[in-house]
Amino acid sequence: MRTLRLLLVEDHLDSAELLAEMLQRHGHTVHVATTVSGALEVAQREVIDVVVSDVGLPDASGYDLMRKLRETSTIKGIAITGSSGAQEVQRGREAGFSAHLTKPVSLRRLEQELEALTR
């Protein structure tokens, strides 16, 4: 798998730092944001291959973030939620996410989705 430039958006900083560290060990560059506004700032100044975002964020939803990013780019995204219901998956697809993972996130599954998105 090639190395990617990732934007990880997770409002629980401990979880974000742990996941970022694991992804970095796999060779990826990871930018972490804890809010939608912070994520938009990172996306403006950095080249990002894939957004990995929790959908429950303090200032807006991950769905809002993905819709906003897709207004100006073709960036790919993976939604992270607490539910794997069909409505959550559909809502993510409508917002522009290409994949959906449920918490707790398996690093192996995340790597599989990243590889599938960047082929």
* Domain extent at residue 63: 5-117
Domains held by the chain: number: 1
Arithmetic mean of pLDDT, 19-35:
97
pTM for this predicted structure = 0.95
Give the pLDDT band of residue 75 (cuts 50, 70, 90): very high
In the chain, what percentage of residues exceed pLDDT 70? 99
The four Cα atoms 65, 116, 4, 13 give a dihedral, to 10 degrees, of 50
- At 76 the pLDDT is 97
Pairing verdict, β 5-9 and 99-102? unpaired
Q: What is the mean pLDDT of the chain?
A: 95
What CATH number is attached to the domain comprising 112?
3.40.50.2300
Give the pLDDT band of residue 1 (cuts 50, 70, 90): low
Give the pLDDT band of residue 12 (cuts 50, 70, 90): very high
- Report the alpha-carbon distance of residue 27 to residue 48 in Å, rounded: 15
The total of other beta-carbon atoms located within 10 Å of residue 46's CB is 12
Backbone φ and ψ for 90, nearest 5 degrees, come out as -65, -45
The total of other beta-carbon atoms located within 10 Å of residue 74's CB is 7
